[in-house]
Structure 1
Amino acid sequence: MNDSTETVDSVRSRVASIFEQVLGRPVEPESDLFDIGGDSADAVEIIEMVRHWSGVDIDVLELLEAGVSVRSVANLVGAAL
């Protein structure tokens, strides 16, 4: 495994952990936050926790356009790192 794959996997794993902490249950990487019972307050909490952990400020509009999922948040963070 190369460093970039490890980084992607590490970011995705940490973002999944944040989603699970906010929602109180496991989530699939492709599951949209709003489709699995999350709401805008959960989205804001996830964005803040990701910012605190990674230092990456995620643009809310960009995130909503991408869909609020583990994969989309991890991709945005990974692109900014």
Structure 2
Amino acid sequence: MPVSAADLEKAIRDTLPVTHLQVVDESSGCGDNYSVLIVSEAFEGKTTLARHRMVNDLLRVQISQIHAFTQKTLTPKQYDAQK
């Protein structure tokens, strides 16, 4: 069963305090390639590697079922600075 953007969004929102979340299916709808932008206070004080490991751990089941997954993880302050 393919992973949907809604599946990824629910798993992320159920685990992290998210202030902004963008899930993009980059595989033209087949659910094989996703990119996510996650903005969360939970990333404060963590390195990019630690943030990505955190997301990989919480999405372990979903990531194992798709071909490609990319992520960008920001704190609210970093996100506001990029606007």
> Scaled by the length of structure 2, what TM-score is found?
0.31
In our comparison, the structure showing a higher alpha carbon Rg is: 2
Q: Which has the higher contact order (CA 8 A, sep 6+)?
A: 1
